[in-house]
Amino acid sequence: MSAQTDERIDGYARGLFELAKAEGTLDEVEDELFRFARSYESNDDLRDALSDDQIPPSKRQAIVEDLLGGSATPTTVQLISMVVGSGRGRDLPAIVDRMVQRAASAKDLEVAEVRSAVELTADQQDRLKAALANATGKNVALKVIVDPSVLGGLVATVGDTVIDDTVRTRLDQLKSRL
Amino acid sequence: MSALFLAVEDPSQTHHWLFPEGYELLFGSLATAIVLGLLIWKAGPTLKKGFTGRTERVQKELDDAAETLAAARVEADRIREVRGDIDSERRQLLAEADERAAALINEGRARLAAEIAEMETKADADIAAVNSRASDEMRSEIGHLAAMTADQVVEQTLDDETRQRLVEDFISRVGASQPAEASS
């Protein structure tokens, strides 16, 4: 990633952060943006549609509004539409990740990205947050991604620390040994 | 003159039918002596010269023959000597040829033995490699099948309860660990 691109991503992330903060929905918008970014990464069709320069910006924005219209806050929809409409759809995950890091830093937290095969209950998330804080020695902002490919268990990434106890990883290790 | 006397005399009148008369014998002897003297005087040197020349020529021929004989003997000796050299050279060449042939045979045998040994070693290595490859392929195939089976079995047997238990195990394990133990 070039310095210019990095600077641009950082600029967009800062813009998203300030707008969400100004709207007073930072936590909710941050969470929705994070989930959308993960969906964007894992869905080839969605990624192709939103990053295709041949599709007019208004069409791409319409796709975003169709997808999120009823399930996300208007601020989230507007922010994603803005990024996609300006032709930066390809950088959306990086922008969102930077924005999430910025939001966590503002609250003196470290982002803890957790992948799970199943949805975690609020109680599980609270206990997991406490467990990760205990294990890493940092206050964490938990971002849970439901990822069926892990099959079972969890993998948590906090900064450079990765705690992996998924069935997928165990199966991969088993395959490697076989 | 004798013929004249004979012609004019009657043979039947001679005193003897075989011997001439005395004067005939005298004159005949004188004439013979004169003729012989003339012959000795005139033809003698020529004859002597001729005989001497012939003798010299014969002697020369004899000398030449002797010289030729000596040369022939020398040549014969030389030829014998050369033949002896040739025989020696031939024996030497034959000995060298035998030696070279023996060396070639030994070298060929050694090379053949080395090639056979190398081929045997290569064959052994090939057999071992084939065995190893077949074994590896079989292990790989078994591993692949086992992994596929494991994937399917795990996916089929992982129900929500098991997944929740895994989540709880993770939370318990991570919560119990210290910062230094966290990374995996």
pLDDT over 60 (residue B4): no
Could you say which DSSP state residue A113 is in?
Answer: E
The shortest CB-CB distance from A165 to any of B155, B162, B173 is to B173
Give the pLDDT confidence score for residue B179 in this predicted structure.
62
B182 pLDDT above the threshold of 70 = no
DSSP H stretches of helix in A25-147: 26-42, 44-51, 57-68, 74-85, 92-106, 122-136
Residue B53 has pLDDT above 70, yes or no: yes
Q: Which two tokens stand for residue B34?
A: 């004169």
Containing H/E element for B62? helix B44-157
Please report the number of interchain residue pairs, chain A to chain B, with beta-carbon separation below 8 angstroms.
86
Cβ-based contacts of B154 with chain A (< 8 Å): 151-152, 167, 171
Residue B11: pLDDT above 70?
A: no
How many angstroms separate the CA atoms of B125 and B66, rounded? 85
| HEC letters along A5-25 | HHHHHHHHHHHHHHHHHHHCC
- B184 falls in which pLDDT band (50, 70, 90)? very low
Confidence of residue B10 (pLDDT cuts 50, 70, 90): low
CB-CB neighbors (< 8 A) of B171 in chain A: 124, 127-128, 131, 154
pLDDT of residue A93: 92
Paired strand residues for A157: A113, A162
Quick: pLDDT tens for A97-156: 999 988 888 888 888 999 999 999 999 999 999 999 988 888 898 989 888 888 899 999
> Which ipTM value was assigned to this complex?
0.75
Q: Exposure string (b/e) for A120-145, b if CB count within 10 Å is 16 or more?
A: beeebbebbbebbbbbbebebbbbbb
Q: Is residue A67's pLDDT more than 90?
A: no
* % of chain B with per-residue pLDDT over 70: 88
The average pLDDT across A66-84 equals: 89
pLDDT for B13 equals: 60
Q: Between chains, do A167 and B171 touch, taking CB under 8 Å as contact?
A: no
Exposure string (b/e) for B109-124, b if CB count within 10 Å is 16 or more? eeeeeeeeeeeeeeee
Q: Do B166 and A167 touch, CB atoms closer than 8 A?
A: yes
Does the predicted model carry a pTM greater than 0.90? no
